[in-house]
Amino acid sequence: MMRAALSAMALIAGLAGPAAAQTLRIGIGADPNMLDPARSSGFVERVVFTALCDRLVDVGPDLAFRPELATAWAWEDGGRTLRLTIRIDGRFHDGTVLDAASVKVNLDRYRTAPESLRRSELRPVTAVEAPDPTTVLIRLSEPYAPLLSVLSDRAGMIMSPAALARMGNRIAEDPVCSGPFRLVRRVAQERIELERVAEHWNAANIHVQRLVILPIPDNSVRLLNLRAGQLDLIERIAPSDVEGARRAPRMAVREATSIAYQLLYINQAGALRDGRVRRAFELSIDRGIINQVALQGLFVPSNQPEPPGTAFHFADLPIPARDVEAAKALLREAGTPNPEFTLLTPNSPVESQVAEIMQSMAAEAGFRLRIVTMEASSIVTRAHARQYDAAFGIWSGRADPDGNIAAWVASDGFLNRTGYANAAVDAAFIAARQATDQAERQRHYRGAAAQWLADRPVMILYHYRWFWGLRAGITGFEPSPDGLIRFSGLRLPPG
C-alpha cells in the first residue's frame, strides 16, 4: 500500500504551489470507463458528469426534483405529455446555443441510437418535439411516472449537437456538454482535468477555477493523500477509516444517508445458473456479519433496492437468515455439493474484504469461491460480454423506485448483465410505471420483488452511508444521498 500511496502522491505533487491555488483536487474510487452519457454505466462517471454535463432536472438533498436546464415542467394530456421549459442562457462548451432543438437531438439519440444504454429508460417516449426554442414536448405512449427521475440522470444530460455530428460514436473522447466545467485533458488511469466555464449560466456560484480528478482505487491511499494535503476532497472514506478521519486535524468528514447499495449480479448462464445453487449461496452468507466485520456496522444490511423503512421496501420479504445446513441440502439436491465459481471484485480494500468474508462463509456450505480482483471498468467490460460468473456492482440510487431495480433485472434493463428475463417481472414494472397512485405502485413493485428475489439474478447486500473527506476550510459542500458532488457554492479556503 505504501508504494501505491507514494506513487499517487507523486502524481498529485505537481499540482502544488500558487498556480494551483484555485484548483480543487478530488480523489475518486475508480477510473471512469465511458464519458458518454449514452453509453455510461458506472457510478464514478456520474461524479465526473456532475461537473461536465448539466441535466434537464437535478435532485436536491431531500431527493426532490429541482430545475437545471429545464426551469419548469408540467404534465399534460393525462400524463402522456411532459412539457419542459428550457432556460434561455444555456451554452455548450463549444460556444453553440443550447435550446429546445438541441435537447430534442439528445433525447432522440438516447431513445433510438443502437449504442445507447438509455433506450430502455425512455422506451415509453414516442416523440420529442421542439415547437419553439424554449419548449420541449415529450410524448408518451402511456403515463410514465419515473420520467422526471430518468431526466435527472444521464438521459437528461445534453451534449452539443455539433460535437455529436463531428465525433459520432467517439464522443466520449471529447465530450462537449454544458456544465460548469469543460474537459481540458484526460490521461487514462491517471487524471481528468477540467476548467471553469466563465460563460456558464450559474458561473456566479462556481468559485473553483480548475478541477483535477484523480482515480485512486485504494480507499486508504485516497485518505492518506487528503491528510497529507495532496488532495482537497475525496469520496467514499472506508468504514474502517471513518472514526480516525473524524479525529484527524486539518480535515473534516461530511456524511449523508445513502440511497446507494452494493450488490452481486450473477450470470444466468454461468457456474451459478441453477437457481438452487444461487439460493444455497445466499443461505451461506450473513449480511449482518459482513456489515459488522467489513463495514464497522456503519452500513445497512439489506436484500432490496430501497432502504428499510422507506415506502418501497417490503418488510414481509426479509433477508434470509444464514442456514449452512439448508445450503448444503440444496447443493446436494442440485447435484453439485462443491460448486466452483469466480467473483469479479474491484481492487478496493472494502469490496475485497467483503469478498473474502463471503468466501469463508460460503466455503462452510461447500462452495469453492475464487476471487479475481480487477479495475471496475474491466469488470464492466467482462460483464457486458457475459464472461463471468458473479460480479460486484454499486448502484448510486435514484429518486424513483423504478430507477433502483428495473435497470438490473428487467429483461431490457440497460444494466441487465445477467441474461435474466421474467415476463411477470417485466409486466409488474410496466404496470408500476403507468400508475400514479403510490399504493398501486407499491403493489406492483412488491409483486416484482417477490419474483426476482426468489430467482436471484442479483443479490443486494447492503445500503451505504456516504462519507466524504474535505480539507479544512472548504465551505459550501452539500452532502447528497445520491453520492454526487455538486460544485455550486463550493469554495476553497483562502490562500
Q: What is the CATH number of the domain that holds 399?
A: 3.10.105.10
Q: Is position 394 within any domain?
A: yes
Clarify whether residues 333 and 359 are in a common domain.
Answer: yes
Task: Identify the pLDDT of residue 349.
Answer: 87
For residue 329, the Cα-to-chain-centroid distance in whole angstroms is 37
Assigned domain for 171 exists: no
Place of cell 485518505: 223
Q: Is residue 70 part of a domain?
A: yes
User: Exposed, middle or buried, 250 (CB in 10 Å: 0-12/13-18/19+)?
Assistant: exposed
DSSP assignment of 407-435: HHHSTT-TT--S----HHHHHHHHHHHH-
Q: Do residues 264 and 396 share a domain?
A: yes
Residue 449: Cβ within 10 Å count:
24
Q: Are 124 and 80 in contact (CB under 8 A)?
A: no
* CA dihedral over 91, 96, 98, 104, signed as positive or negative: negative
Q: Is 52 helix (H, G, I), strand (E, B) or coil?
A: helix
Domain closes at, from 160, 195, 210:
160
Residues 266, 219 share a domain: no
Confidence (pTM): 0.82
Same domain (yes/no): 31, 135: no
Does 236 share its domain with 273?
no
* Residue 475 in grid coordinates: 465551505
Q: Are 136 and 129 in contact (CB under 8 A)?
A: yes
- pLDDT number for residue 494: 85
Q: Are residues 129 and 6 in the same domain?
A: no
* 239, 351: one domain: no
Alpha-carbon dihedral angle through residues 441, 446, 449, 450, given to the nearest 10 degrees: -150
* Burial class, 314, CB count within 10 angstroms (exposed 0-12 / middle 13-18 / buried 19+): middle
How confident is the model at residue 20, as a pLDDT? 45
CATH of the domain at 127: 3.90.76.10
CA 91 to chain centre: 26
Residue 430 sits in which domain range? 259-464
**340 and 218 part of one domain:** no
Structure confidence at residue 12 (pLDDT): 52
Report CA 29 to chain centroid distance, whole Å. Answer: 12
Question: Looking at the domain assignment, is residue 410 inside a domain?
Answer: yes
Q: How many structural domains is the chain composed of? A: 3
pLDDT in tens, the chain (495 residues): 444 444 555 455 444 443 345 999 999 999 998 999 999 988 899 999 999 999 999 999 888 999 999 999 999 999 999 999 999 999 999 999 999 999 999 999 999 999 999 999 999 999 999 999 999 999 999 999 999 999 999 999 999 999 999 999 999 999 999 999 999 999 999 999 999 999 999 999 999 999 999 999 999 999 999 999 999 999 999 999 999 999 999 999 999 988 999 999 999 999 999 999 999 999 999 999 999 999 999 999 999 999 998 899 999 999 999 999 999 999 999 999 999 999 999 998 899 999 999 999 999 999 999 999 999 889 999 999 999 999 999 998 888 999 999 999 999 998 999 999 999 999 999 999 999 889 999 999 999 999 999 999 999 999 999 999 999 999 999 999 899 999 999 999 986
Q: Residue 16 is part of a domain; what is its CATH number?
A: 3.40.190.10
Q: What is the pLDDT of residue 41?
A: 87
pLDDT tens track for 229-259? 999 999 999 999 999 999 999 999 999 988 9
Q: Which of 250, 273, 304 is the last residue of a domain?
A: 250
Check whether residue 151 and residue 289 sit in a common domain.
Answer: no
CA distance linking residue 110 with residue 125, whole number of Å: 11
Residues 232 and 326 both lie in one domain: no
| 297 falls within a domain | yes
Residue 385 located in a structural domain: yes
Per this entry, what is the length of the chain?
Answer: 495
Cell 441510437 belongs to residue: 113
Tell me, yes or no, whether 168 lies in a domain.
no
Same domain flag for 204 and 118: no
Residues 275 and 381 in one domain: yes
> Does residue 61 form part of some domain?
yes
